[in-house]
Structures are given as structure tokens and as C-alpha cells.
Amino acid sequence: MQQFNELNLPQPLKQALETMKFETPTPIQAQAIPVALKGGDLVGIAQTGTGKTAAFGIPTIMRLMENPAATALILAPTRELAIQIEGVWRDLTRYMKDMRSAILVGGYSMRPQLQALRQKPRLIIATPGRLIDHLEQRTVNLATVAVLILDEADRMLDMGFAPQLNQIMRHVPKERQTMLFTATWEKETDALAKRYLNQPSRVAVASASKAADTVEQTAVETTVAKKNDTLLDEINRRAGTLLIFTRTKSRTDRVTKFLASYGLSVSRIHGGRSQAQRNAALAGFKSGQIRILVATDIAARGIDVTGIGHVINYDLPNVPEDYVHRIGRTGRAGASGSAVALVTPEERPLWRAITTLLQRGGSNAPKTVAAAAPSGLVRSAPLPQPSRAPQNRPRQYRNPQPQRHQRGEFTRDGRGGGGGGGSSSERKDRPAQSAVTSPRYWR
């Protein structure tokens, strides 16, 4: 399939894709949709940001249109991701009647969820924990589920949801279409597919060990003591939005505080914050009001934010694949971006594992540089000091006029959508995970 119109899509769906400015299918969509439309089970392997949501959303909608008694269930690892999927569902079904969805996620009160369930939704989007709450209270019935989607299956397993998935599977009919989407393929995902899918077709695009060639990668050697200064340096030599990854919630808090003390426009997202706080942080970052977002991997998983200029790995991820997901937030679909990793001597083994993975995947090797010796920049007080000599530029964000630069072929205009979500299962030393961005680039 080269074009959506080759698919003979029903008019309201066609129209929705037009409104969404989806003209050409992304590679995973081009491969997965025709296969899924045949009704068989499917495994889709693709990095974040490749358009997996519509890859399963479009065939699911067609299935539900054909059979008015059928419903669909999408399981996702985090709240933000579930919210984001719901946004795409709404967009795709905007010209249809009776394609209501219900979103069952933790962190929100049960009441609106119960209300949504009473309205006979055609689609339920849920995180495993909250769905089980509903199953136990018998407030949801999955007997009509004809299509089941496991989104970000690798992350669900990493987060320890295997028992919950098992429990949920007992409530969905055996006779169903199951689609599993994942960014990485490991023995755990393979086992999951063997267990719940029936002779699935497998479609894969670009291996998760391959970093986008459009991302300029650098590793900066620093030390634990100098890490914050190195971070400031790296921020100051860049314009545009920045996504900073840290290892834990408390480190996210500390880095945010540190940057805020320098007058930088910064917010943070991790599983320990309330849903309202997370939503606000993400909304500010998406709208461009906030320049820097500090995040744990889990909280950032699956977030679809357009136009991230730079990714800074303040801490390296424990799982090398996560590095590829992280830096995939920038440099999307042909737009250029940059990624910096701050590497302390303690983190060198992790860095070696990452570069080995990149080499295996055939990616360009990152450049390694030593942390800039206290560069011309002298650390200033939080407020600009008017009396300073000009070469001592205050380390402050001077709000460079963002310019829209390049548009990648899969971008479209300023879109909302939620983000990947921490969640109670986010642990202190949990490895980390990714998110998504599309290719609007500011310089």
C-alpha cells in the first residue's frame, strides 16, 4: 500500500485522515494495515514515533464498522499513553457516530469512567491495573471484544504487567483478533506473542538498535560532581526545546530545581506527580511555553511532542535500547536534531553497551568529547547581572525566536495528545523508556 486511498476506506474515515493531514501511510502503517484488515493476528515492531496508533486504529475502526455488535480493547502501559491513544481515536472517528470510547486509567476517579462505560463504548482504552479494578467490581464486561490491542507491549512487560495481562485475557473471548505492538523484540515479547496470539503475521520496520541518522549524537565526559555544570553548558549552547532524561524521580526533581534556580523555563514529569501536574507540565512543554522538560523514561514513554530540538541524557539509561528510544524523540522523519549524553566514569560501562548496540544496528557512532573546561561562560546568579562584562553572558534562556524549520513528511500541525505516564509502578531505579516526537524542528 502506497497511499491510504488504495485501501478503499469508508468515507468518514477517509475524511478524518484528510482532516488529520495523514496523506501517505508511514512504513508500519503501509505494512500493518493491509495485513490487519484480513483479520488475522499481528505483531508490529517499530520504534516510537512511527505511527503505530493509526496502524492499529484504522483496521480496528473498520472492523467495528462492519460489525456493530463488536467492541475493541486497547491496553497500554501508562495513563498518558492511553490518553494519547484516545485522542487519536477521537480524531479518526470524528465523522462517525457511535464510536465512543471509554478510558480506564488509574489516577482518575472511577465515576466518569463508570459513566463512560454505561454509554456502551465501542472501544475501551485501559491501563492493566485499572481495568482489573473494573473487572473485579464487575463494572466492565469484555465479552464482546473482537479486537484486542497490546500497545507498547515491551514496556508493559518491563513494568511488570504480565500477571495483569494474564488475568485480563481470561475475560476476553478466545475468538478475536489480537494485535501486539512493540518497539523492541526480546524473548519476553516473543513469549507474550506465543501465549496470546494465534499464528500472527509479523511486520517490522527499522530495528530499535538503529538511531536516526538525522540525530547528531555526542557523548560528553564529565564527573558526578561536574554533571550539573556540564548540563548547564550543554543547554546554553543550544537553542530550542530540550527534553532531559534522568534515572529517578528524585533526580528529576533535583535537576529541575537546579535549572529553575538559573532562571530557565523548566518543568518536570515523573510518576510521583499528580495527574494534573503531569498534564500541566506536558501541556506547557507542548505549547512551547516551557522550554525544558525533565523526565524519567517511564513518564515520557510514548509521549508525542512535536518539535523537540535536543535530547539530553543527564543519566544514561540502564537498558541500552532505551537510549535509542530517547534520542528518537528528536530528529524525526528527516528533521535534524541533537542528542547529548553526559557520561561519568561510573557510567562508562553503560555507555559502552550503548555504543555496541548502535554499532550492531549500523548507526553512526556518537562523537565523544570532554566536558568543556569552564568555558567562556561564567556561572551567573539566577538573575542576569547587568553589570557583568558581555563575555560573561548570564546563563539564561533568552527566548530565541523559534523558527519552524523543516517539516518531516509525517508531521502535522500542533497536536495535543498525552504523554507516556509514570505510574505507581515507576520505581526508583527503573531503567527508562522512551517517547515520541514528530519532526518540527526549532533552531
Contact set with ligand ADP (CB under 6 A): 22, 24-26, 29, 46, 48-54, 302, 304, 410, 412, 415, 436, 438
196 contacts which partner out of ligand ADP, Mg ion, none, CB within 5 to 8 A by kind?
none
Beta bridge partners of 295: 245, 269
Nearest residue (CB) to ligand ADP, 53 versus 330: 53
Query: What residue number has its CB nearest to Mg ion?
Result: 52
Residues 49 to 68: which contact Mg ion by CB under 5 A?
A: 52
Q: Residue 337 CB, nearest distance to Mg ion (Å)?
A: 19
Q: Residue 412 CB, nearest distance to ligand ADP (Å)?
A: 5
Nearest residue (CB) to Mg ion, 31 versus 217: 31
Nearest residue (CB) to ligand ADP, 58 versus 96: 58
Q: Residue 381 CB, nearest distance to ligand ADP (Å)?
A: 40
Nearest residue (CB) to ligand ADP, 5 versus 24: 24
Q: Residue 303 CB, nearest distance to ligand ADP (Å)?
A: 9
Q: What does the block give as the cell for 399?
A: 527566548
246 contacts which partner out of ligand ADP, Mg ion, none, CB within 5 to 8 A by kind?
none
Beta bridge partners of 149: 74, 179
- Which residues have C-beta within 8 Å of that of residue 376, sequence separation ≥ 6? 391, 392, 393
Q: Residue 301 CB, nearest distance to ligand ADP (Å)?
A: 10
51 contacts which partner out of Mg ion, ligand ADP, none, CB within 5 to 8 A by kind?
ligand ADP
50 contacts which partner out of Mg ion, ligand ADP, none, CB within 5 to 8 A by kind?
ligand ADP
Nearest residue (CB) to ligand ADP, 48 versus 222: 48
Binding of residue 301 to Mg ion (CB under 5 A)? no
> What's the one-letter identity of residue 332?
R
Q: What does the block give as the cell for 277?
A: 501536574
Q: Residue 234 CB, nearest distance to ligand ADP (Å)?
A: 26
Rounded Cα distance, 245 and 342, in Å: 10
278 contacts which partner out of Mg ion, ligand ADP, none, CB within 5 to 8 A by kind?
none
Within 13 A of 114's CA, how many CA atoms are on the CB side? 8
Rounded Cα distance, 434 and 245, in Å: 10
- 430, 250 Cβ separation under 8 angstroms: no
Closest to 274 in 3D by CA, of 84, 106, 81: 106
Please give the size of the binding site for Mg ion, defined by CB under 5 A.
Answer: 1
Nearest residue (CB) to ligand ADP, 46 versus 172: 46
304 contacts which partner out of Mg ion, ligand ADP, none, CB within 5 to 8 A by kind?
ligand ADP
Nearest residue (CB) to ligand ADP, 153 versus 340: 153
What percent of the residues of the chain are helix, what percent strand, and what percent coil, each to the nearest 5?
A: 35, 15, 45
Tell me, rounded to whole angstroms, the distance of Cα 416 from its chain centroid: 13
Q: Residue 50 CB, nearest distance to Mg ion (Å)?
A: 8
236 contacts which partner out of ligand ADP, Mg ion, none, CB within 5 to 8 A by kind?
none
Q: Residue 382 CB, nearest distance to Mg ion (Å)?
A: 38
The β-bridge relationship of strands 367-370 and 215-221 is: parallel
Nearest residue (CB) to ligand ADP, 26 versus 230: 26
Which alpha helices (H) appear in 263-388, and where do they start and end?
275-287, 297-300, 320-327, 348-360
Tell me, rounded to whole angstroms, the distance of Cα 385 from its chain centroid: 39
- Which residues have C-beta within 8 Å of that of residue 382, sequence separation ≥ 6? 261, 262, 263
Which alpha helices (H) appear in 224-292, and where do they start and end?
227-236, 249-260, 275-287
351 contacts which partner out of Mg ion, ligand ADP, none, CB within 5 to 8 A by kind?
none
DSSP codes of every residue in 213-248: TTEEEEEEE--TTTHHHHHHHHHHT--S-EEEEESS
Nearest residue (CB) to Mg ion, 113 versus 433: 433
Secondary element (H or E) of residue 114: helix 110-118
Nearest residue (CB) to Mg ion, 269 versus 436: 436
Rounded Cα distance, 379 and 243, in Å: 22
Q: Residue 46 CB, nearest distance to Mg ion (Å)?
A: 9
DSSP codes of every residue in 175-205: SSEEEEEES---HHHHHHHHHH-SS-EEEE-
Q: Residue 419 CB, nearest distance to Mg ion (Å)?
A: 11
Rounded Cα distance, 253 and 267, in Å: 9
Q: Residue 394 CB, nearest distance to Mg ion (Å)?
A: 40
Closest to 42 in 3D by CA, of 56, 30, 54: 56
Nearest residue (CB) to ligand ADP, 52 versus 268: 52
Give me the residues that bind Mg ion (CB under 5 A), please: 52
